[in-house]
């Protein structure tokens, strides 16, 4: 899927049922949303656990206005920290994940004046890990105690490297 075909836009309630429809098992839900995300969910519990009203939350939409990917960011330890990344099952493996990360990092780094990005990934999520390492993310020791950290890798990358790997503009990223 080409970047020009997809619009990067704020997540809104109109996208909620599409996003919920991409997660159909407890295992997928934990992999995506973390150990405390309730499953099965309804719109209310999903909204509370996903925190989309509180955190900057975005989708990529196709030309028909359907959401095909979702992600969030916030400032964590002076990195643009990405969370809850997911691509619609029907379009995985087509480069949408790359585009999503590129757009989130460009926008989040600009918003917070940051030049690095971070994320957590479950050690067993090899597909996601492969994508992140291709984009320049590298494993680091997380500097604070977190109870679920033994299940995850903490990854960090310079924003410029991610944007270069995804052929995006780097000129607006924080110095």
Ligand X SMILES: CC(C)(COP(=O)(O)OP(=O)(O)OC[C@H]1O[C@@H](n2cnc3c(N)ncnc32)[C@H](O)[C@@H]1OP(=O)(O)O)[C@@H](O)C(=O)NCCC(=O)NCCS
Using CB under 6 A, list all residues that contact ligand X: 31-32, 85-87, 92-98, 121, 125, 127-128, 130-131, 134
Report the nearest approach of ligand X to the CB of residue 85 (Å). 5
Closer to ligand X by CB, 161 or 174: give it: 161
Nearest approach in angstroms of CB 100 to ligand X is 7
Measured at the CA of 33, the angle between CA 112 and CA 48, to 5 degrees, comes to 80
The residue of the chain with the least Cβ separation from ligand X equals 97
Q: What is the torsional sign of CA 83, 51, 12, 159?
A: negative
Nearest residue (CB) to ligand X, 71 versus 158: 71
Pairwise CA distance, residues 136 & 121, whole Å: 14
Q: How far is the CB of 143 from ligand X (least distance, A)?
A: 20
Nearer to ligand X, 115 or 125 (CB): 125
Question: Nearer Cβ to ligand X, position 19 or 109?
Answer: 19
Instruction: Give the residue among 112, 121, 129, 117 at the shortest CA–CA distance from 161.
Output: 117
Task: Using alpha carbons, select from 127, 125, 146, 129 the residue that is nearest to residue 137.
Answer: 129
């Amino acid at each position: 899927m080409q970047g020009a075909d997809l619009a990067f836009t704020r997540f809104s309630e109109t996208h909620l049922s599409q996003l919920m429809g991409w997660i159909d098992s407890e295992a997928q839900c934990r992999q995506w949303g973390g150990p405390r995300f309730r499953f099965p969910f309804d719109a209310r519990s999903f909204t509370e656990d996903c925190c989309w009203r509180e955190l900057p939350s975005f989708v990529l939409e196709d030309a028909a206005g359907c959401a095909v990917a979702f992600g969030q960011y916030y400032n964590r330890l002076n990195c643009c920290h990405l969370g809850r990344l997911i691509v619609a099952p029907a379009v995985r493996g087509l480069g949408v994940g790359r585009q999503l990360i590129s757009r989130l990092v460009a926008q989040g780094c600009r918003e917070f004046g940051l030049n690095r990005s971070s994320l957590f990934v479950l050690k067993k999520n090899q597909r996601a890990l492969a994508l992140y390492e291709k984009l320049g993310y590298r494993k680091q020791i997380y500097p604070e105690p977190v109870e679920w950290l033994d299940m995850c890798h903490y990854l960090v990358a310079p924003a410029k490297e991610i944007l270069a790997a995804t052929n995006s503009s780097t000129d607006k990223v924080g110095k």
